[in-house]
Amino acid sequence: MRTWFQRLTDVSSLACTEQALKEALAELVQDLGFDGYAYLNVQPVRIFAVSNYASEWQARYLTQNYAMIDPVVTMAKAQMKAFAWAAAAPRSLSKPLRRFYSEASDFGIRSGISIPVRTAFGHLSMLTLASHKPSLNLETDIDQIAAVTAVAQLHAKMEQQDAEPTASVEIDLKAKQALCLKWSAEGKTMKDIASIEGMSFATVNFHLNNARKALDAGSLAQATALATKLKLI
């Protein structure tokens, strides 16, 4: 696989367009004997995928928030190194995990290889190569340096091209929350916002606090920055 990871590095470096990159990824994955790929970018308030998995599965994975229970994502966060995986025996699983594995299997995702990389500001990106086979028999161990180098290059190219996700789930602020956050971004205090919008101080505080919680932010300043970055305000 070392040669394959070198090819991935080369393709990521040379692909001039987003479409060219996605097509090259699909071809590389097929050449290696896998059925599909999924590049997953996991952030605190945004998760998106670039993948050639069935669109129905991609949408279901994100809308059902499966990234929170997916053992592959859990293992990626814990180990931060490339690894092979296969679906666990149903009897050893909780009901939600049995459902998850069953649905993934219906779409031909039963085993694979995943390579996570740590990205800016403590975020995580990972590339998964998936197979319909119940298990994988790798001839050699995965070259960790080659794997991480290749996926880091892929992540950089995805960021550079601002690749259009094939599936994504983003936070959706309510109108009053966005309005109050926008005024906060403009430098207005809660007292100012209350006066401008004809609200009580308590109401402004209520909307800003709920916006902060929705964005999983530790402070109003962080919430404002996140909302601005995600173009919610």
CATH value at residue 6: 3.30.450.80
Looking at the fold, whether 218 and 133 belong to one and the same domain comes out as no
**Number of domain units in the chain:** 2
The residue with greater pLDDT, 79 or 137, is 79
Looking at the fold, whether 157 and 176 belong to one and the same domain comes out as no
Instruction: Tell me the per-residue pLDDT of 156-215, one tens digit each, with 9 for 90 and over.
Output: 999 999 888 898 876 778 999 999 999 999 999 999 999 999 999 999 999 999 999 888
Nearest-5° Cα angle at 196, 194 to 201: 5
Based on the number of CB atoms within 10 Å of its own CB, is 60 exposed (0-12), middle (13-18) or buried (19 or more)?
Answer: middle
pLDDT value of position 91: 77
Cα separation, 91 vs 70, whole angstroms: 17
Average pLDDT for 113-134: 93
Is residue 105 within 8 Å of 87, Cβ to Cβ?
yes
* Across 58-67, 76-85, 137-146, least confident range: 137-146
Cα separation, 42 vs 114, whole angstroms: 14
Instruction: Tell me the per-residue pLDDT of 25-51, one tens digit each, with 9 for 90 and over.
Output: 999 999 999 999 999 998 767 788 999
Cα separation, 206 vs 232, whole angstroms: 18
Q: Look up the CATH number of the domain holding residue 192.
A: 1.10.10.10
pLDDT at 107 over 80: yes
Looking at the fold, whether 156 and 47 belong to one and the same domain comes out as yes
Is residue 50 within 8 Å of 151, Cβ to Cβ?
no
Domain edge (last residue) among 169, 192, 216: 169
- HSE-CB at 229 with a 13 A cutoff on CA atoms is 13
pLDDT at 85 over 80: yes
Average pLDDT for 61-86: 92
Q: What tokens were used for 57?
A: 């599965």
The residue with greater pLDDT, 172 or 11, is 11
Looking at the fold, whether 117 and 222 belong to one and the same domain comes out as no
Looking at the fold, whether 85 and 189 belong to one and the same domain comes out as no
Domain edge (last residue) among 144, 169, 194: 169
Average pLDDT for 69-97: 89
Domain encompassing residue 179: 171-229
